Amino acid sequence: MTAQGLLATSEYTVVRLSDPARAAREEGEREPERDEPNSPLDQMTDQRRRLLGTLTDAQDAPAQLMQLSRNPEVAGAHPLGSYCEWEKVSKLAVKVQATIYSHEPEISEEPDTDNIGGGEDAAGP
């Protein structure tokens, strides 16, 4: 990831964490409002997109924490906090991974209908 890409992710993450109401408004502005409620299939597509975005942010966070931990001003502070803080994050990550893994779809020749996969490895290099 380029420094610009990291900066863009960081700015959005900062806004989302520091001002959730503003982040929600901005997310609402990105998607056109519909007169009729979404079908269950549309809702599933929306949730998969949301999950992918959330996991992408979650993947960036540890790298940013590791980079911040190199700053001399935080000498001695562990990037993932105390053992208790680390344990909470670790258990949640394992739980999410287990849920995703245990619901793996069968491989098919169907196209990616919601266009969120892009055919690339989401985990990155």
pLDDT along the chain (125 residues), means of 10: 49 66 67 70 93 94 94 94 96 96 88 63 49
Look at residue 64 and tell me if it is in a domain: yes
The number of beta carbons lying within 10 Å of the beta carbon of residue 24 is 11
Look at residue 96 and tell me if it is in a domain: yes
Structural contact between residues 54 and 122, judged by C-beta atoms closer than 8 angstroms: no
Look at residue 22 and tell me if it is in a domain: no
Say whether 74 sits in a helix, a strand or coil.
Answer: helix
* pTM of the predicted model as reported, rounded to 2 decimal places: 0.57
What is residue 112's predicted lDDT score, i.e. its pLDDT? 72
Structural domain span for residue 84: 41-102
Residue 120 exposure: Cα atoms within 13 Å on the Cβ side:
8
Look at residue 2 and tell me if it is in a domain: no
Residue 67 exposure: Cα atoms within 13 Å on the Cβ side:
9
What is residue 108's predicted lDDT score, i.e. its pLDDT? 84
Structural contact between residues 5 and 12, judged by C-beta atoms closer than 8 angstroms: no
By C-alpha distance, which of 119, 102, 117 is closest to 56? 117
By C-alpha distance, which of 68, 49, 50 is closest to 10? 68
Structural contact between residues 46 and 38, judged by C-beta atoms closer than 8 angstroms: yes
Query: How many domains are contained in the chain?
Result: 1
What is residue 119's predicted lDDT score, i.e. its pLDDT? 52
Look at residue 51 and tell me if it is in a domain: yes
Look at residue 74 and tell me if it is in a domain: yes
